[in-house]
């Protein structure tokens, strides 16, 4: 039992690290794409809201059966919020 728990903990840490790398890469891509575009704060608000809505809507494409609707929605909101924070920090460094 202890061995199984240790394996699960290692797997969770590996998956969390991979998720963090993907979020960092996605944020870097968005920051490059948005830099010098002259977008207003309202434009950016609409972008993040649209991305969140799209991610929640895509549940049927990828998460059906494995995630509850509530868990999928929470995950989508968290990921977009993390990407947004990194992008806004990067754009603010100019």
Query: What pLDDT does residue 15 have?
Result: 95
- The larger pLDDT score, comparing residue 2 to residue 62, is at 2
- In whole angstroms, give the CA distance from residue 76 to residue 72: 6
pLDDT, one tens digit per residue, over 57-89 is 887 555 556 778 888 889 999 999 999 999 999
In this predicted structure, what is the pLDDT of residue 16?
Answer: 94
Q: What is the pTM of this model?
A: 0.82
SS3 state of residue 69: helix
Number of domains in the chain: 1
- Please name which of 34, 25, 19 lies closest in space to residue 78, comparing C-alpha atoms: 19
Mapped onto helix, strand or coil, the DSSP state of residue 94 is coil
- For residue 28, the enclosing domain spans 2-92
Mean pLDDT of the chain: 89
pLDDT value of position 9: 94
Kindly report, residue by residue over 23-34, the tens digit of the pLDDT. Answer: 999 999 999 999
How far, in Å, CA of 5 to CA of 2, rounded?
5
At 34 the pLDDT is 95
Q: Tell me what pLDDT residue 71 has.
A: 87
């Amino acid at each position: 039992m202890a061995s199984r728990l240790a394996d699960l903990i290692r797997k969770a840490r590996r998956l969390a690290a991979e998720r963090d790398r993907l979020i960092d890469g996605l944020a870097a891509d968005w920051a490059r794409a948005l830099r010098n575009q002259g977008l207003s704060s309202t434009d950016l608000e609409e972008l993040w809201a649209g991305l969140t809505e799209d991610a929640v809507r895509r549940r049927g494409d990828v998460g059906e059966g494995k995630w509850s609707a509530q868990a999928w929605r929470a995950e989508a909101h968290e990921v977009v919020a993390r990407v947004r924070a990194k992008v806004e920090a990067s754009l603010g460094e100019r």
